[in-house]
Copies of this chain bind each other. A is one copy, B any other.
Amino acid sequence: MNAPRLDADARGVYLITVTPFTDGGALDLASTDRMVDFCLEQGVTGLTVLGIMGEAPKLTAEEARTFVRQVLARAGGRVPVVVGVSSPGFAQMRELADSVMALGASGVMVAPPATVRTDDQITAYFQMVSETLGPEVPWALQDHPVATGVQMTAGVIVRILRDNPSCVMLKHEDCPGLAKLSAIRAASERGEVRRVSVLCGNGGGLFLPEELSRGADGAMTGFAYPEMMVGVCRAHAAGDIERAHDLFDAYLPLARYEQQPGIGLAVRKHLLAQRGVIASSFARRPTPKLSAADVADIERLVARQTRRLVELG
């Protein structure tokens, strides 16, 4: 069953999923099913697969298709599924996008390559993206300078939105990004550009309460406790800003630890395995392994988080 089509009204939490492997390193489709169920039970409103934290570049083309097919089948059309299709070349991007849209994906997500630098190079790149994908494929613009090295101003993002009607979402994860987020929303309010969905991923949601206050529609990021983002978004939508912060603060020490560059994926998979979501914490190379000291840190942080959540009620 096809997932709902991605559009500019998307809101809530689009969780960036991991890709589960067995201890031997093969795709683990049973864990994939369990992970999809877990996310939906926690209240996510969408799923994003084949992102960087989904180890997309470590999969073969066939594995990528198999994994997407499994996620789509298990999600069963209940939430949109967005697929990362960033590629070194347009032929590969078209091939992957055509393939996942044919499988029933809701839309795709594209980050710019490190080679584009100037405003003109960036906007020209995304026009080629639109032409490559065709007018029927809705796509999310990923603004993630820490990973890509590409810095887009609010003005450039507005130009991209104007030039490309099929771009319906901004995955915003610049840091500092609060001012940029305010500027993009202000441009829409002044009628300069249509309003798109803005989901935030700033450092794994490390600024989520503030981003919601600036006009973000939710989060698109990964965290072993997606219920945090779901809870923060719901409290915020209900107007209970202090409750949103309370929840956020309770998870922040662990979220901060899971957001460490490099080792973060190992932390996330360790936690998901511990929660019973995936069978193995295996990540494909090159990924650092957790030391005993890392595991001790995590255990302390989880215990403290659990106590804090009890206190909060």
Point out residues on A near B: beta carbons under 8 Å.
Answer: 55, 57-61, 63, 87-92, 95, 114, 117-121, 124-125, 128, 151-153, 155-156, 175-176, 178-179, 182, 206-207, 210, 213-214, 241-242, 245, 248-249, 252-253, 256-257, 260-264, 284-286, 288, 291, 293-294, 297, 300, 304, 308
A288 contacts B252, CB within 8 Å? Answer: no
| From B63, B88, B152, B260, contact of A91 by CB (8 A) | B63
This protein's copies in its complex: 4
A210 partner residues in chain B, CB cutoff 8 A: 257, 297
Chain B residue nearest to A252 in the complex (CB) = B252
- A12–B95 CA distance with the chains assembled, in angstroms: 38
Min CB distance, A27 to chain B, in Å?
A: 10
- Partner of A263 from the list B55, B57, B176 (CB cut-off 8 Å) is B176
Q: What are 10 A-B pairs at a CB distance below 8 A?
A: A59-B92, A60-B95, A118-B151, A119-B119, A120-B153, A120-B155, A124-B286, A210-B297, A213-B297, A248-B253
A118 near B152 (CB under 8 angstroms)? yes
A304–B297 CA distance with the chains assembled, in angstroms? 26
A196 CB, nearest partner CB in chain B, Å? 20
Chain B residue with Cβ nearest A153? B118
Which residues of chain B are within 8 angstroms of A89 by Cβ–Cβ distance?
Answer: 55, 57-59, 284
Instruction: List 14 additional contacts besides A58-B92, A176-B264, A210-B297; criterion CB under 8 Å.
Output: A58-B91, A61-B61, A118-B152, A120-B153, A120-B155, A176-B262, A176-B263, A179-B288, A182-B291, A207-B256, A213-B297, A249-B252, A252-B253, A252-B256
Residue on B nearest A210 in the bound complex, by CB = B297
Q: Contacts A90-B285, A120-B153, A206-B256 known; A291 to B179 CB distance under 8 Å?
A: yes
| Chain B, Cβ-Cβ closest to A152 | B118
Do the beta carbons of B95 and A294 come within 8 Å of each other?
no
- Measured between alpha carbons, how far is A58 from B57 in the docked complex, in Å? 16
Q: Could you tell me if B249 and A253 are in contact, using CB atoms closer than 8 angstroms?
A: yes
Report the separation of the CA atoms of residues A284 and B245 in the bound assembly, to the nearest whole angstrom: 33
Given known A61-B61, A256-B256, contact A90–B300 (CB-CB < 8 A): no
Q: Are B263 and A179 in contact (CB under 8 A)?
A: yes
Q: A90 and B58 in contact (CB under 8 A), knowing A179-B263, A260-B175?
A: yes
Q: Is B178 a contact of A293 with CB atoms below 8 Å?
A: yes
- CB contact under 8 A between A91 and B297, given known A176-B261, A253-B252: no
